Structure 1
Amino acid sequence: MGMQIGSGSSSADPEVMIEMNMTPLIDVMLVLIIMLIITIPIQNHSVNLNMPTNTPSKPTEPPVVVNIDVDFDGTVLWNGAALASRAELESKLTEVASNPN
């Protein structure tokens, strides 16, 4: 790839080199790659989103909590008050279920 040393024959004209010198080409390509790397802007891995702002709505009322207790003898307590029958329990349950709050 480099220099050709003449052969033993003594000719007046040296032979023409057919090979291309690659060293300057490689140097130029390395300089171009380094310049490209330096000039590329830094990439962020985040996406900037402009989210719409929402006006806070009025606070909702807390739901009605009902405690149903069943004693060992089968007595049903609705928030601490004893219920007379199963039908009364079902009517209170349907009443609470129909309430939208």
Structure 2
Amino acid sequence: MAVNVPSDGDADDDTVVSTINTTPLVDVMLVLLIIFLITIPVVTHTVPVKLPTVANQASQTKPKDITIAINKDGDVFWDTTLMKDNAELLDRLHKAAVTVPQPAVHIRGDMAARYEYVGKVVYDLQRSGIAKVGFITERPTNN
């Protein structure tokens, strides 16, 4: 942008200045910066607490734990023994529930099995009084 400069040497006071005066802008920005530098440590003040560290360890099956497997057809296995019917499973669960300490039951359900089959086993565990029930899964593959 061009500015007209008088050629006769007499400068009028009414000349147009086409430059932007950035001094007030810089002053405001510096004041805001100082305000933020003073207030941020006050706002982010926290109570110093030493947090506990946690390590996730894979649970190891103890010999007394019971593993119940359910295949895709709904067949129920006590460890590797096929249960003929629901009454046999309930009988074994009742015997296991009264032992001290009570064993944990791990359920291995086939991915293709219907939820109904797994639900029946969980219901039988509840009816027999087993307190510790867990599900065994596989880790997902990282793709």
- Structure with a larger share of its residues in strand: 2
Larger radius of gyration: 1
Give the structure, 1 or 2, with the largest relative contact order (CA under 8 Å, sep 6 or more).
Answer: 2
Give TM-score, length-normalised by structure 2: 0.26
